[in-house]
Amino acid sequence: MSTARGARARARIEVTAAIKEEARRQLAAEGAAKLSLRAVARELGMVSSALYRYFPSRDDLLTALIIDAYDSLGESAEAAHAQVAGAGPRERWIAVCVAARRWALAQPHEYALIYGSPVPGYTAPDTTIPAASRVGLLLVGIVRDAYRGKGVARAPLPPELKAEAQRMAADLAPDLPPEAVAALVAAWAQLYGLIGFELFGQFNRIVEDREPFFRHAVDQLAHGVGLVYPEPTGTPGKGNGMAGP
């Protein structure tokens, strides 16, 4: 129905794709702030006003790029997860986190576009929600499988968080205990804190060898959501690792 509906329609989707491609190129080269409709049009050999036939505004172009970025990140994470589908929840968790970091390092400007400061006056439309949810759903799935297998142990919730955690669990994963869902959502945000700090230069002169640092941090994150239950390492109260001054 929508395929080959005439040369005009085909040309339209072709030009639309070319615009996005060139915009993505400029995004990688200069960043979202310097994305210029005129420059994109110039590079494509057309005039700036012609672009408005395809994207009503610069923000709409940005929205399209945002959805593409979310999908690209989600795809990378899903592919990495598929490769370790047989492994335990801890390995799967780490694989997804590492894939997210790798993607972010490879496309820093696209990462900044979706997880950096939002453009003022611009609010992402609901269209972006499915693409934006992919990594999160992956993480939920890992915890769910772990829970189905042996259950996840989590710190008890403070009373003032109980109701909210139950609501979150009902929304995101009704088959998981509220404790696990709250811990998961927190870990989800913290994962992007780690990635963002490295990407945005906050680790400069602080963390040098980032890959093992990141792996260790997300491993502890897996701990935090209850994916690492049998291992006795790091249980509080042992008091190891203290070197006196």
Residue 119 engages DNA in binding (rule: CB under 7 A): no
Q: Among the residues of 84-150, which ranges form H helices?
A: 89-106, 108-115, 129-132, 134-149
> If 0-12 CB within 10 Å is exposed, 13-18 middle and 19+ buried, where does residue 97 land?
buried
Give CA angle at 131 (53, 18), nearest 5°.
35
> Binding string to DNA for residues 9 to 38, with x set by CB under 7 A, is what?
x-xx--x-------------------xxxx
Residues in binding contact with its own copies, number by CB under 8 A: 91
For the CB of residue 152, give the shortest distance to DNA in the complex, in Å.
Answer: 47
Work out how close the CB of 135 gets to its own copies at its nearest, in angstroms, rounded to a whole number.
11
Give the nearest distance from C-beta 164 to its own copies in angstroms: 4
Nearer to DNA, 52 or 82 (CB): 52
122 is a contact residue toward DNA (CB under 7 A) = no
Nearest to residue 131, comparing CAs of 64, 85, 204, 227?
A: 64
Choose, by CB under 8 A, the member of 18, 39, 98, 124 that binds its own copies.
124
x/- mask, DNA, residues 160-189, rule CB under 7 A, reads ------------------------------
Which of its own copies, DNA, none is residue 89 near (CB under 5 to 8 Å by kind)? none
Q: Quick one: which of 220, 213, 214 has its CA closest to 187? A: 220
Placement of tokens 């009704």 in the chain: 174
Among the listed residues 32, 50, 31, the one whose alpha carbon sits nearest the alpha carbon of residue 41 = 50
Neighbouring CB atoms inside 10 A of 59's CB total 16
* Tokens linked to 17: 């794709």
Measured CA to CA, the distance from residue 101 to residue 105 in angstroms comes to 6
In whole angstroms, give the CA distance from residue 44 to residue 141.
Answer: 42
**Applying CB under 8 A, does 88 fall inside the site for its own copies?**
no
Which parts of 39-68 interact with DNA (CB under 7 A)? 39, 45-50, 52-54, 56-59
User: Footprint of DNA on residues 138-157 (CB under 7 A)?
Assistant: none
Tell whether residue 191 is a contact of its own copies (CB under 8 A).
yes
Provide the mask over 37-76, with x wherever binding to its own copies is found by CB under 8 A and - wherever it is not: ----------------------------------------
For 147, the token pair is: 């829970």
